[in-house]
A and B are shown apart, each in its own frame.
Chain A
């Protein structure tokens, strides 16, 4: 059983995140680069299954700049067996379609029974990539799972939908994405950190995967980036027994009630 986990390096959302308003790209110097928390939960789901299963192998896969390598090393310490880093200047600013093409090619090369991803990244907020991969790879998707059960032959889980919760299942191979309702990622121990240093980490380019980033296919391109005017504080009062009344009058004046 081979589980590929998609991990992503993102700007730390607890700090201030910046876009370069000229290039439209993330300003990587502006904030700490961390593993997207949701993808750490995806890793946890994979390694906790591997802990209990015979012959389960966990491979981390990411597409990102050179700096993502240290994120992969740190994440290997959680218990994954190896990592694959797709790093290529030609992929800078790749749209969802190109990202899906590259990652699908990498997953085919690596081989997988199950792919686990986070449902929505904290920087891109798209939530489309897992399903795009499932379509490219010709397998079922089970996205936005709040809980997941993995076995040798199938994967199942629950996801929230309008008016309730649906239970889903599919035979492997399949692509799964998980939500922040999944268990917290473990903290790697000393042993994990030491062994991570020696684990195989392969670096690939688009050309290695046979992907042409310049191909004339429909792409989404960014036209402009504007910094939204910062919100500023308005009136601030300390309640001295009248603040509720003041607020009611304020809301009425602004026709908000």
Chain B
């Protein structure tokens, strides 16, 4: 059987850990062929990340360690991915649909040249080749796309692929990152986000609790935090809550903001404007609590409660604890 190499780019956090999208990328790659990981890390951080890629199913890892990853935008990763594509003759390249992934995909697509499929929610292989699934207009439509020929580049929506590849013992090959082949921006500084929390990443969390304007204040928003932590879920917010200063920008769920792919989405005090729905309506189960019985969120909620979240949520938490403590 011919070996279909599928190159995935796995971003690395400042602390050297792989970003949460890695498991889904390698899972999707495993569906198409043999998963090959590309990791570009600061010196000394690569081996641990490469080993982690193995646990997510990478058969082979191309590893580049370079301080340039902290000083030059995109170019080191682009050169590493291009080198891995050249070395493996990859038929597909998967990158996460995040800012760095998009930059790599855009430049690589022009450079090869290759067809690029953006914001995919799934990939399959049929007799004709690779078929990419998209969810568009805020999940109102699903579309399928395919390349006419050549290598396919895909930006994969984070959290969209549930499939996981079997853990492997990868062969690790070291890449020397060549000088950037084109003009690149300089990274002049990095400030760590002090609000980094232990909560799961919003994009890929199985459970997401979001708070809206209806929570009334930044103090009120703590109710959403409390429930998210109780459920071990990610924490999100509507644009109205972000604009009102209840929550930071990075929490925003919606068309401008994060698209979640949760099994359970709980909306507290969110009316559910179309823009918000675009970011969450593909959640498998939607629960809404809102005082306004006419709120549009109820039109798409599997379980809607017309009521005050400040009454309902504490009772919900108490009952969940009872159930957990009941040993049943």
Contacts and interface: CB of A to CB of B under 8 A. Distances in A.
Given A162-B19, A256-B207, A248 B301 contact: no
B15 A14 contact: no
A159 interface: yes
A170 B186 contact: yes
A97 B151 CA distance: 13
Interface in A231-250: 231-239, 241-250
B167 interface: no
Contacts of B97: 127
A160 B250 contact: yes
Interface residues of A, number: 91
Contacts of B83: none
A185 to B, nearest CB: 14
Given A13-B275, A225-B141, A128 B196 contact: no
Contacts of A17: 137-138, 140
Contact of B304 (A136, A225, A233, A252): A233
Nearest to A129: B106
A170 to B, nearest CB: 4
Contacts of A125: 118-119, 136
Contacts of B304: 233-237
Contacts of B172: none
A161 interface: yes
A217 B275 CA distance: 36
Contacts of B14: 162-164
Contact of A143 (B103, B135, B139): B103
B96 to A, nearest CB: 10
Chain A CB within 10 Å, residue with most, of B11, B142, B151: B142
Interface in A127-144: 127-132, 134-136, 138-144
Interface in A1-17: 13-17
Contacts of B300: 231-233
B164 interface: no
A116 to B, nearest CB: 14
6 contacts: A135-B106, A160-B99, A174-B185, A180-B256, A220-B146, A254-B285
